[in-house]
Amino acid sequence: MEDREALAAAGLDRREGSDMDDLTSTAVRWGDWLVLVDPRWQETAPEVTPPSEVLLGGWMVGKDGVAGLFEPNPHYVALGR
């Protein structure tokens, strides 16, 4: 799955009229990874870690701070709109 397909699966595809500016609010740093969380997932407690099935995938961040290629999460389950 390419980055564009992962974004479309999360409802973030610009061609579908979604707001790409919201992408940064759904990406979180998780150790050496920058992971993309389904924006429809909500948790009331900010310290709660999103379950793996709401992670679209992520980018491994190298020691130089540069993110690698997007790696999709095979366990991702799209949430209802």
3-state secondary structure 21-46: HHHHHHEEEECCEEEEECCCCCCCCC
Distances (CA, A) of 53 to 17, 75, 77: 25, 5, 5
Among 14-28, 29-43, 66-80, which is the least confidently predicted range? 14-28
The yes-or-no verdict on residue 16 having pLDDT over 80 is no
> Tens of pLDDT along 25-67?
688 888 999 999 988 887 766 667 788 898 999 999 999 999 9
The C-alpha angle with vertex 22 and arms to 7 and 40, in degrees rounded to 5, equals 65
- Higher per-residue pLDDT: 44 or 11: 44
pTM of the model: 0.62
AA letter at 41: W
**Residue appearing with tokens 């310290």:** 47
The yes-or-no verdict on residue 14 having pLDDT over 50 is no
The domain spans of the chain are 3-72
